[in-house]
Structure 1
Amino acid sequence: MSRDCGLWDGVICDEMSGHVIELDLGCSSLAGTIDSNSSLFQLSPIKRLNLSYNNLYSSKISPKFGRFSNLTHLDLSDSSLSSQIPYEISHLSKLQSLFLSGNSELRVLPRDFKMLLQNLTQLRELDLSHVNIFSTISLNFSSHLTTLMLEQLELHGMIPESIFHLPNLEELVLRNNDQLGGYFPTSKWNSSSSLKKLE
């Protein structure tokens, strides 16, 4: 890997190895598809990847994303992604931020939704708003979560009370899930469908 790669816009490299560790191409007017043969997947040491607000032409999220074992931040919001979120994403055990919102043709099977929540134990921020998820809300949330955005999915069943007791949760958005029921606490949170913890 070239040691001057850090001179490229949106690219940050490790000073010692020269490997790309951050790639920020959000809002870069990218157009095209990401297939499994993409050179992107050669960046195995990468820690932060942002491809949000680009036109990826209904690309699928390749299972190879699950190979980025050092990834802590993944942002694919509003990138015209389609098909199914692969369960391999749940292998990203160091992931702290996952943003997939605004991809209305992207879907998550209930089994994979629960797997994401169960395995990503370091998650601090999760935004799946406007993704096709027809599922109940799992009880297995990372205790590190500060922000949980689940707006306009197809969630159903009852809101688990335990979600309001997550020790670090500060913002919870559940609006526009018409089949979701339950009661919202009023003492520590300031509204009903878009909740923010009061100081």
Structure 2
Amino acid sequence: MGNESTRAAYRTHAAEYTRILGSVEDMHELDQQRIRRWASGIDGQMIDAGCGPGHWTNYLHQRNSTIEGIDLVPEFIESARARFPDVPFRVGSFRDMDFPDKTLHGVLSWYSLIHIPPDEVPMALEEFARVLAPRGQLLLGFFDGPPGTPFQHAVTTAYYWSTEHMGHLLAEAGFRVLEIDMRQDPGKRPHAAITATVR
């Protein structure tokens, strides 16, 4: 499942996805608290990598974060720009980000790695580490489960990761894990989030 197939799948469902999941008010309150708390400790340029409809980017922009949203899907970026005209958005891949080395202070990757084939996840994490300044922070959200196991997501194939295995991949990419959060909502897939800093 490469960039193009993921992009194509989300282009087909972009309007529906935005309608159902494109508002922070529809997100879990604990996720709002977690993202808000993480961003409050960052002073400097941030990106929302794989921003989708842009709701989290706008959420942090409204709280005075210096943030830009990037996403593979042109329809998401077009919609985000129309809905949140004061927030910068652009089409781009976080597998090869157009930022100089060590220039960002925060990277939010909220469920944006879930469609990447397991053998490509280390490259994405290394790219996050490349663009982050020393002590820059990454907040990573994903579905908790057997590492690298595929499941049928509503849009296209996605993969589970355990916090232990993701922590190992982060360490190999040059990160130090600061915090791990897990949540199991009734009838939902288990959620996990890891905050990490560049060593």
Q: Same fold (TM over 0.5)?
A: no
Instruction: Compare relative contact order (CA 8 Å, sep 6+) and give the higher one, 1 or 2.
Output: 2
Structure showing greater radius of gyration is 1
Question: Is the strand fraction higher in 1 or 2?
Answer: 2
Name whichever structure is richer in helix by fraction: 2
| TM-score scaled by length of structure 1 | 0.30
